[in-house]
Amino acid sequence: MERLTVPDKKIDGGLRRAIIDVREVRKEAMTIYWELKKYKDTGLTPEQIMELKERDTAKKPVQTEDGMVCPICGSKAVPWSRFCDECGQRWWEEED
């Protein structure tokens, strides 16, 4: 993540506070505000966001004696589907 603050500089006897451009701080604060607003408007918790992100990370179905199954929930994988019908896990797709 890009640093959002200006570091102080060490000088003999202490620190010299960084001089900041208030207009740039306001602009950055508004950018952060709008990003936070988009997140808050989803109504999801951080845990739910991480779960969705993990589910959207493609995983290869596992080969078993009964055929291919979902590596997350174990349900039978449908060959033409891109997602598990039970848990919504995205399948890893082989490149042609």
Tens digits of residue pLDDT in 37-49: 998 999 999 999 9
pLDDT tens, residue by residue, 29-78 = 999 999 999 989 999 999 999 999 998 998 888 888 888 898 889 888 88
Do both 37 and 72 map to the same domain?
A: no
**39 and 49 within one domain:** no
The residue among 6 and 53 whose pLDDT is bigger is: 53
Total number of domains constituting the chain: 2
Which of left, alpha, beta for 88 (phi over 0: left; psi -120 to 50: alpha)? left
Are residues 13 and 30 part of one domain? Answer: yes
The pLDDT confidence band at residue 81, using thresholds 50, 70 and 90, is confident
Q: Quick one: tokens of 19? A: 């001089």
Domain region containing 57: 45-96
